[in-house]
Amino acid sequence: MQKLLLITSLVVSIFAENTNYAYTNWNTVQGTLSTNSTLENYEQTIWLVYISIGVPAQDFTVQIDTGSNILWVPYTDCPRCDISTRYNPNGQEYFSPNGSTYYQAYGSGECSGYVATDMVSIQDTDINTTFAMMFATMEQGFAFPTVMDGIMGISNNQTFTNIFQAAFNAGQIPTELYGLILNQAPLPSTLIFGDIDPNLLNQIQWVIPNDIYRWKLFINAFTINGQDYSSLMGSVQSAILDSGTTELLVTQDLYNVLLKDYLIPSGCFMSGSIYCPCQPTADALAYLPNITVAFNVVNVTIPFFNLLQGYYVAATGDVCQVMMSYLSGAPFMVFGDPALLSIIPIFNKTANEIGIIGGVPNGIPNGDYPGNDEIDEAVG
């Protein structure tokens, strides 16, 4: 079983080399030892985990996605698949179709196929368990078909059993807790689960989602550099924590304020997307936005530099893309990788709770929130 030592002093020292990281929440995290699997960070766009399916094992590299429900890889007979790595059921000891089909849509991309049970392991860990997944006979529209072989959905949709629940039920891990430590390169990113050290758990602020199908949290307040812009959320008062989304997707009104009042005055510009200097001047730092949201009981700050793709590997004088946009007409915002870079989320699916490490308690009681009446219907 692999172990991870998260050495806070190293992380903080890297951040301290640039005072732009004064707002980061990482400096609240203490060292911890946890069961883990290394995640591959592909261009700070998708985070990948290595798994095996079947006996004998077939290897796949799948995106880890807190925003969707089901694990899928392409089936051997997939005439409408762009991904070349396929699952072949011939000679598989545990492959067992259940006679149903499933369709899954994403922000970009879609797939459908047969549902079947088989043995799945996360490579180099103790997890090696059986549960239902989808073997796609159609997939299209995904941005990186040559990089990923499928997607492992780990949302809180209660109609699906994910790999951590299955491993816990089989006695392979002591709890069904799982979480993500996402970092910009060159720092490592990690999937943690099961045997999570109490020193880490003691730092958690537990938050109750206002949705039984998605990791969606009610937002009490939205501030930028200390200025309250909560009114610009309008009726959209929730956000999904989604590792399958590369951007911070806010309301159009919030986006306009961020762009016009903060990014453009600091020297950023539009060219299809938003671009900012990777190494801004001291004057520009006065404008660059650090976003703080109140998720129920805990305040979470998203430092501006977590919005910049490739910040650590950019050369002096380069510009970095700002991973932020807006949604029109959606009933919630989507807090993708820039938000998850700012915290360590720990998920407890059975209890329907999210533990946030790296936030600051705000004194708001946990319990029922406005927005609990907006629980959405199940997808699929």
Active site residues: 65, 242
Q: How many CB atoms lie within 10 A of CB 214?
A: 25
Measure the CA–CA gap between 241 and 68, rounded to whole angstroms: 11
> Three-state secondary structure along 54-108?
CCCCEEEEEEEECCCCCEEEEECCCCECCCCCCECCCCCCCCEEEEEEEEEECCC
Lookup: tokens for 296: 């129920």
Strands 248-251, 227-228: pairing kind: unpaired
Burial 301-316, CB ≥16 within 10 A → b, else e: bbbbbbbbbbbbeeee
Q: Please, are residues 180 and 64 in contact by the beta-carbon 8 Å criterion?
A: yes
Lookup: tokens for 149: 């072989």
Cα 255 vs. chain centroid, distance in angstroms?
21
Q: Please, are residues 184 and 108 in contact by the beta-carbon 8 Å criterion?
A: no
Lookup: tokens for 57: 């094992």
Who's near 94: CB < 8 A, 6+ residues apart?
54, 55, 117, 118, 119, 130
Which DSSP symbol is given to 308?
B
Q: Please, are residues 207 and 353 in contact by the beta-carbon 8 Å criterion?
A: yes
Of the candidates 112, 100, 39, the one whose C-alpha atom is nearest the C-alpha of residue 74 is: 112
